[in-house]
């Protein structure tokens, strides 16, 4: 992609389908603290890394402060050239303010000359202007401002530069005009607990639309492109995989199809996780990789629990067939999680994935619409040919039959439910299949138990009725 | 005789900018920010005075009356807040200007005065 130039941020390059187009001008918009300048650091540092000349034209923060701020993020700006057009301290201490002529008359010419001199001397490939809004105060009116910006962009492009510039929009000085002038617009937004980046314009190129999450921390900006399932599809065979337990396979008329999403529903403690793990155990037996996203239990706890019921998770991990990712609440952004999933699918080569559980996921992710993200992640995995297992908890131990408290059953191709039933004062478990989109399934319920030898599933419960109520009645008097 | 423009202005940066502007356009000027000094100044070589009122107290009016008495042509410069207000020009003044000044207008105005003075 010779006509592209990296933004310096991997995730943003992915959104931009490879990076910025060279010799174009791009506007970065956003409120204070949204990371506009940090994005500029990445853009320029990437150029320096590639042996290009990179120029930072600052009209807001002085050079020293910019370098210190970058350093605090562990970003090294050495090699980046600066043109510092910020006011000196003397402007304040030595009464340098004036009003006899307008700033446009007094400062435009020297500033223009400084830019021209620097650009002609340095011949930068990349220029970052922070911020273009400052030039607005040097123009007598909107028309002059527009003309000046266009002219500056043209001058820089004729000098073979690709330009990134920021704006500081306010009610008094909106920046819509800059959006029209630029070849691309990137919006950065900070909400209470989430930062989003959106490309709203990118002349001459495709891009991934919509809001994507990003973080700012040590190392600068990390962008997590949102998963769009439709853009990620693989040709695969809907082959049926066994659970490894003949009675479960009988219920499922052979097993579950790869490339489908299976919801395992049930109340707390009924064995949803353990049941799901049998498919991961079988995958390991077939020499396939699996991954567990555990939003509730730690890796140690899950290992211990599985080992106690004869699911050899430890050896599955040791052989590299299983990865357990314990995700602490509110540590990941939904798109960040999505990118981890992508890594597991595309690099680790996972064929079976379990998300444990939907309520844990919603708690952990926060954000505005975690369900929408969960939908995208699950659909993506299914489109990539994975067997996706999604455990979902229902609040009621017995009583009214419900598949999920999270209104996500629409997402599932298959629904397996586990329930407590009480007969003769004894609490037992039952398993059944409610839905199987790609094939037939057994309509009966079976007794289900978890023993130290593993999961045991009995014969169909033909002598009971009203099983789903939780208090079945015997048909044999 | 070299014609000079006397610039009276309390803000030193304004004074400097005005002086630089006139110099760039081939007009000699003398700068003064102290009113007392201005009142006792030899005004013989002054063809025009530009007086920026900003920052001075009412004693600036005394200076204006001295200039009026001594028949020194002067233009009074008002702060931007005076825009759209009905300002009565001080007695003897040749006109008023409101900041920020338009350099082109200012230059043609000064040149006109200096030519009239020949």
pLDDT tens-digit readout, A43-76: 999 999 999 999 999 998 999 999 999 999 999 9
Select the residue from A90, A95, A99, A139 to test the B interface by mutation, using most B Cβ atoms within 10 A. Answer: A99
Q: What is the pLDDT of residue A420?
A: 86
Q: A343 with A253, same domain?
A: yes
Domain boundary among A175, A196, A225: A225
> Confidence class of residue A360 from pLDDT cuts 50, 70 and 90?
confident
For residue A73, give how far its alpha carbon lies from the nearest alpha carbon of chain B (Å). 39
Q: Once rounded to an integer, what is the mean pLDDT over residues B37-48? A: 86
Q: A129 with A8, same domain?
A: yes
Domain boundary among A225, A248, A280: A225
State whether B11 and A97 contact (CB < 8 Å).
Answer: yes
pLDDT value at A2 more than 80: no
Q: What is the pLDDT of residue A291?
A: 98
Q: A303 with A198, same domain?
A: no
Q: A213 with A248, same domain?
A: no
> Confidence class of residue B44 from pLDDT cuts 50, 70 and 90?
confident
pLDDT value at B118 more than 60: no
ipTM of this model? 0.89
Residue-wise pLDDT tens digits, A230-276: 888 888 888 999 999 999 999 999 999 999 999 999 988 889 999 99
Mean of the per-residue pLDDT values of chain A = 89
Nearest residue on chain B to A106, judged by CA atoms?
Answer: B17
Q: A134 with A171, same domain?
A: yes
Q: Once rounded to an integer, what is the mean pLDDT over residues B95-106? A: 92
Higher pLDDT, residue A312 or B43: A312
CATH of the domain at A419: 3.40.50.300
For residue A94, give how far its alpha carbon lies from the nearest alpha carbon of chain B (Å). 9
Q: Which residues of A touch B9 (CB under 8 A)?
A: 100
pLDDT value at A405 more than 70: no
State whether B100 and A100 contact (CB < 8 Å).
Answer: yes
For residue B9, give how far its alpha carbon lies from the nearest alpha carbon of chain A (Å). 10
Give the residue numbers spanning the domain of A79.
4-225
Q: A249 with A203, same domain?
A: no
pLDDT value at B97 more than 70: yes
The reply to whether A109 touches chain B by the CB within 8 Å rule is no
User: Chain A to chain B, count of Cβ pairs less than 8 Å apart?
Assistant: 36
Q: Once rounded to an integer, what is the mean pLDDT over residues A92-113? A: 80
pLDDT value at A94 more than 60: no
Q: A340 with A429, same domain?
A: yes
The reply to whether A144 touches chain B by the CB within 8 Å rule is no
Q: What is the pLDDT of residue B88?
A: 84
Q: What is the pLDDT of residue A468?
A: 65
Domains within chain B, CATH numbers bracketed: 4-116 (3.40.50.2300)
Q: A186 with A252, same domain?
A: no
pLDDT value at A408 more than 80: no
Q: Which residues of B touch A106 (CB under 8 A)?
A: 17
Q: Which residues of A touch B82 (CB under 8 A)?
A: none
Q: Which of A99, A105, A106 sits opposite B80 (nearest CB)?
A: A99
Q: A127 with A252, same domain?
A: no
pLDDT value at A1 more than 60: no
What is the signed CA dihedral for A325, A328, A330, A334, rounded to 10 degrees?
A: 10
Domain boundary among A189, A209, A225: A225
Q: A198 with A236, same domain?
A: no
Residue-wise pLDDT tens digits, A191-233: 877 899 999 999 999 999 999 999 999 999 999 999 988 888 8
Find the range with the poorest average confidence among A66-70, A297-301, A316-320, A443-447.
Answer: A443-447
How many structural domains does chain A have?
Answer: 2
pLDDT value at B63 more than 80: yes
Q: A374 with A263, same domain?
A: yes
Q: A146 with A271, same domain?
A: no
């Amino acid at each position: 992609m010779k006509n592209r130039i990296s933004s310096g941020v991997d995730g943003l390059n992915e959104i931009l389908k490879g990076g910025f187009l060279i010799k174009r001008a791009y506007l970065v918009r956003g409120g204070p603290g949204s990371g506009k300048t940090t994005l500029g650091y990445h853009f320029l540092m990437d150029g320096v890394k590639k042996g290009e000349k990179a120029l930072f034209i600052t009209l807001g923060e002085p050079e020293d402060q910019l370098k210190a701020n970058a350093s605090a993020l562990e970003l090294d700006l050495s090699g980046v050239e600066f043109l510092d057009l910020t006011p000196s301290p003397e402007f304040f201490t030595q009464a340098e303010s004036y009003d006899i002529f307008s700033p446009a008359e007094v400062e435009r010419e020297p500033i223009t000359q400084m830019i021209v001199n620097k650009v002609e001397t340095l011949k930068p490939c990349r220029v970052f202007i922070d911020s273009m809004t400052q030039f607005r105060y040097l123009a007598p009116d909107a028309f002059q401002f527009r003309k000046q910006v266009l002219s500056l962009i043209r001058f820089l492009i004729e000098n073979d530069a690709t330009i990134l510039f920021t704006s500081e929009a306010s009610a008094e000085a909106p920046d819509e005009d800059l959006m029209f002038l630029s070849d691309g617009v990137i919006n950065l937004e900070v909400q209470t607990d989430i930062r989003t980046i959106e490309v709203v314009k990118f002349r001459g190129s495709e891009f991934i639309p919509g809001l994507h999450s990003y973080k700012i921390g040590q190392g600068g900006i990390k962008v997590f492109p949102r998963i769009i399932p439709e853009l990620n599809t693989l040709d695969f065979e809907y082959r049926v995989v066994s659970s490894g337990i003949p009675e479960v396979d009988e219920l499922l008329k052979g097993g579950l199809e790869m490339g489908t999403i299976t919801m395992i529903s049930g109340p707390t403690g009924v064995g949803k996780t353990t049941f799901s793990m049998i498919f991961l155990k079988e995958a390991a037996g077939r020499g396939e990789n699996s991954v567990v996203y555990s939003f509730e239990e730690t890796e140690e706890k899950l290992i211990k629990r599985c080992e106690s019921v004869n699911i050899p998770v430890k050896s599955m991990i040791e052989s590299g067939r299983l990865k357990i990712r314990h995700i602490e609440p509110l540590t990941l952004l939904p798109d960040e999680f999505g990118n981890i999933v992508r890594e597991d699918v595309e690099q680790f080569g996972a064929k079976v994935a379990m998300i444990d559980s939907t309520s844990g996921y919603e708690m952990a992710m926060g954000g505005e619409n975690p369900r929408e993200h969960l939908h995208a992640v699950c659909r993506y995995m299914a489109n990539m040919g994975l067997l996706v297992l999604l455990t979902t908890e229902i609040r009621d131990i017995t009583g009214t039959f419900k598949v999920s408290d999270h209104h996500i059953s629409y997402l599932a191709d298959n629904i397996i439910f586990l329930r407590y039933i009480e007969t003769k004062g004894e609490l037992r478990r039952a398993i059944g299949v409610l839905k199987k989109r790609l094939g037939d399934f057994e309509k009966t319920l079976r007794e289900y138990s978890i023993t130290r030898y593993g999961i045991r599933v009995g014969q169909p419960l033909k002598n009971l009725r009203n099983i789903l109520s939780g208090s079945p009645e015997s048909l044999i008097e | 005789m070299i014609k000079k423009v006397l610039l009276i202005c309390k803000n030193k940066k304004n004074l400097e900018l005005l002086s630089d502007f006139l110099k760039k356009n081939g007009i000699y000027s003398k700068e003064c920010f102290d009113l007392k000094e201005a009142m006792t100044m030899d005004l013989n070589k002054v063809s025009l005075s530009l007086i920026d009122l900003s920052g001075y107290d009412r004693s600036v009016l005394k200076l204006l009356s001295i200039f009026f008495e001594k028949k020194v042509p002067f233009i009074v410069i008002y702060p931007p807040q005076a825009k759209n207000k009905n300002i009565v020009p001080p007695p003897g003044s040749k006109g008023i200007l409101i900041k920020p000044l338009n350099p082109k207008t200012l230059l043609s105005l000064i040149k006109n005065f200096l030519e009239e003075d020949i």
